[in-house]
Amino acid sequence: MESLLAAEASTSTSRTLTITLFLVFVAITLGITVWASRQTKTATDFYAGGRQFSGFQNGMAIGGDYMSAASFLGIAGLIALYGYDGFLYSIGFLVAWLIALLLVAELLRNSGRYTMADVLAFRMRQRPVRTAASVSTIVVSIFYLIAQMVGAGALVSLLLGIKPDTTFLGMDADTAKVATIILVGALMIIYVTVGGMKGTTYVQIVKAFMLMGGALIMVIMVLAHYKFNLSSLLGDAAARSGKGDAFLEPGLRYGIESDSASATFYSKMDLLSLGLALVLGTAGLPHILTRFYTVPTSRIARKSVLWAIGIIGTFYLFTLALGFGAAALVGGANITAQDKAGNTAAPQLAQALGIDYLGGETGGAIMLAVIAAVAFATILAVVAGLTLASSSSLAHDFYANVIKRGNASERDEVRVARFSALIIGAVAIALSIFAQSLNVAFLVALAFAVAASANLPAILYSLFWRRFNTSGALWSIYGGLGSAVLLVFFSPVVSGSATAMFPDSDWQWFPLSNPGIISIPLGFLFGWIGTIISKETDVEKYAELEVRSLTGHGAH
Amino acid sequence: MPAPAERYLEVQNSEEFAELRHKLRRFIFPTTIAFIVWYALYVLLSAYARDFMSIKLIGNINVALVFGVLQFVSTFAIAWVYSRYAAKELDPRADRVYDELENGSAAAGSAPAADGGAR
């Protein structure tokens, strides 16, 4: 009874503190946004933050854009529940950055201006290619946006401790979810419409510092608890997981071995498919690609990717310690009691560490509040980046170049971009409210699969293949996009299984949850077929693209 | 300032630019294949060589964990090696082609040689 009362009191302390910290973050970032809006005069300011950011700043901002709630809460939770297999995600997410570094970042920075389509349409017929690029940008970003916003809604009741039978400010858990989605959506619309790329970039930087700081404190506490002996941390995690040594080995979550040979085969193919999409998706994510335009030169773009690799790599090593730490110090049973998917593992670990190191329940409440506020800040920063990328594409690619055929004034274009952010934000809010039951990890994996199947082939062909043409670009974008989305539609994620979106229907025939292993090669294949069936080829424009992309000549 | 189309074609066909492209591609293509194979090996071993991955090396630290951390190490290493390579082999060459585009319009045909002298 007494402990129940104490728990009740600490929930309320922690809740107040979480909200206070979150409001402080919102106040600071809104201040920055208003300041940034005064510096935002031209289209370059709005789309590319004036191209004035340093390599370190942009590296942090890339980290801020990339380290989503899915990676912070999701991966820590996966590791806490399934042990080693959660680590597979982190590795794919990190190795992916080498593609961005070696093949994409610098060349894109040199030859593009504001959006991914600037490079894709460089030597093609503008209107069809920009339309296609705009469609795939928006599809990828919307999937990703919904994932983040649904995640925010799911987290709020857990982080604020709203139980099914209790209320908070007169809201029950379901109302609080909807309210959170709307609040997150409204804030992201403000960041983007008011602050543009400059405001959004600073929001990312602040968030990256908060996230790295919060994670570092927890990692130090976890390691100190085990006297910096990694082996005993792992041993404890394995013991308390109830799965023994298997917890430290691959196979609990992905590539599960069962009695059915075909189930085992498909489960392993799914693992390979996921791995492929993670590695090839990053360099096709529009909100990541537009980050390379915020620095003055391609060499600074390179530097910013190097910083990003350092920061993101360090962060994923942190999540490894956090995940195993949560398994060891909180225990799998306590985590699943809060959230079946394990998303609350990191906040629960924070609470446990606070109780141990910062003097009992109050310390626990403080740590929980800090990490919960960090998680909200994380979500907010990522959704702002996504909204900006998709509204930029809608305004710059679709409005200015398709509708106005390149004759829109800069002021009109920026006005349309701001308005697009409002529309995309509103659509994302509405879809997220309807999509609340969808699995967040699945939505993120889908966004990566589409980015890898539709965008990456077109980008690589554009930059490196002389023969590539309009038809090839359209085939690869629509072909990759279509095959990824269709395969998912006919996969067990959508129908024909107990955990599907429509568990009572069955039109499933594709056996894998992740389409990448089929749809990514298809994207490349379609691009190749589309190219060779068309005679079009612009030798002069390719010369211009190649020379400019390698030397930075005529770069914006 | 965008040069006229013929200039880009001319530069694209110049020896200097061919060397820049060669140096770039000679690094990025093999490296990309190498790290994708290395990553694929890791994923394949995770899927199909569970016994190997579960061998314990020191205390509770097994092959799988070391292999995973090695992916981090290789990523950091490749990034570092590339930044060194780019600064040494690519940036100076790109600068020369860039200068040629900016200044060498009159002596377009013999630009590589003229610039070569100024090196």
Write the CB contacts of A275 (distance below 8 Å, at least 6 apart in sequence). Answer: A88, A92, B39, B40, B43
Q: What does the pLDDT read at residue A166? A: 72
Q: Do A547 and B83 touch (CB under 8 A)?
A: no
Reported as a pLDDT band with limits 50, 70 and 90, residue A100 is very high
For the residues A27-51, what does the mean pLDDT come to?
92
Identify the pLDDT of residue A476: 97
How far is A74 from A55, CA to CA, in rounded Å? Answer: 28
Sign of the alpha-carbon torsion through A357, A363, A367, A368? positive
- Residue A128 pLDDT class (50, 70, 90 cuts): very high
For residue B59, the chain A residue with the least C-alpha distance is A231
* CA atoms of A463 and A433, how far apart (whole Å): 39
Predicted pLDDT at B110: 40
pLDDT tens digits for range A420-449:
999 999 999 999 988 887 777 678 878 999
pLDDT above 90 as % of chain B: 77
Whether B21 sits inside 8 A of A543 (CB atoms) is: no
Is A436 a domain residue?
yes
pLDDT (average), residues B7-13: 93
Averaged pLDDT for residues A460-484:
96
pLDDT in tens, A250-267: 988 888 888 888 889 999
**A152 with A375: CB under 8 angstroms?**
no
In a domain, A377, yes or no: yes
* Mean pLDDT value across chain A: 90
Residue to mutate among A62, A102, A317, with most B CBs inside 10 A, is A102
Does the residue A248 lie in any domain? yes
Q: What is the CATH number of the domain that holds A117?
A: 1.20.1730.10
CB distance A384 to A378 below 8 Å: no
Helix (H) or strand (E) holding B62: strand B61-62
Q: Provide the pLDDT for residue B112.
A: 42
Rounded mean pLDDT, A533-545 = 93
Q: Is the pLDDT of residue B57 over 90?
A: yes
Confidence band of A522 (pLDDT split at 50, 70, 90): very high
Percent of chain A at pLDDT above 90?
65
Instruction: Evaluate the CA torsion angle A534, A540, A542, A545 in order and state its sign.
Output: negative
Single out the residue of A164, A109, A115 nearest to residue A136, CA to CA.
Answer: A115
Tokens linked to A363: 């310390």
Closest CA to A381 of A213, A194, A187: A187
pLDDT over 90 at A462, yes or no? yes
Question: Under an 8 A CB cutoff, do A550 and B82 touch?
Answer: no
Total domain count for chain A?
1
What pLDDT is recorded for position A258?
Answer: 84
Q: What are phi and psi of A469, to 5 degrees?
A: -145, -175
Best of A267, A551, A556 to substitute, by most chain B Cβ atoms within 10 angstroms, is A551
Domain ranges, residue A262: 2-551
Domain presence at residue A483: yes
**pLDDT given at position A373:** 86
| A94 falls within a domain | yes
Interface predicted TM-score (ipTM): 0.91
A285 token code pair: 């994510």
Question: What whole-number distance in Å separates Cα of residue A120 and Cα of residue A386?
Answer: 20
Q: What are phi and psi of B61, to 5 degrees?
A: -85, 120
pLDDT at B104 over 80: no
Kindly list the residues from chain B whose CB atom is less than 8 angstroms away from the CB atom of residue A268. 47-48
Query: Once rounded to an integer, what is the mean pLDDT over residues A268-287?
Result: 93
> Which residue, chain included where needed, has tokens 């999540």?
A319
Chain B: nearest CA to A262, how far in angstroms?
14
3-state secondary structure A191-207: HHHHHHHHHHHHHHHHH
Give the list of residues 6+ apart from residue A251 with CB closer than 8 angstroms, or none: A84, A85, A257, B46, B50
Q: What is the pLDDT, as a whole number, of residue A9?
A: 61
Mean pLDDT across the stretch A310-316? 96
Nearest CA-CA distance, residue A82 and chain B, Å = 14
- Over 70: is that where the pLDDT of A358 sits? yes
Q: Which residue has the tokens 């059915």?
A: A260
In a domain, A556, yes or no: no
Please state the rounded mean pLDDT for residues A314-323: 94
CA distance A511 to B72: 31
Is A511 within a domain?
A: yes
CA distances from A415 to A77, A116, A194, A203, A392 (A): 41, 20, 11, 22, 11
Q: Do A275 and B39 touch (CB under 8 A)?
A: yes
What confidence tens digit (pLDDT) does each residue in A184-202 have?
Answer: 899 999 999 999 999 999 9
Say what percent of chain A tops pLDDT 70: 97
Residue A44: which residues within 8 A CB-CB, separation 6 or more? A50, A51, A114, A556
Convert the pLDDT of each residue in A218-242 to its tens digit.
Answer: 999 999 999 999 999 999 999 998 8
Q: Is the pLDDT of residue B107 over 50?
A: no
d(CA A437, CA A290): 31
Per-residue pLDDT band at A365 (split at 50, 70, 90): confident
Q: Which chain B residues in 52-91 lie under 8 Å from chain A, judged by CB atoms?
A: 53-54, 58-62, 64-65, 68-69, 71-72, 75-76, 78-80, 82-83, 86, 91
Nearest to A551 among B44, B65, B94 (CB): B94
Please report, for chain A, how many H helices and E strands are present, in that order: 23, 0
Across A196-222, average pLDDT: 94
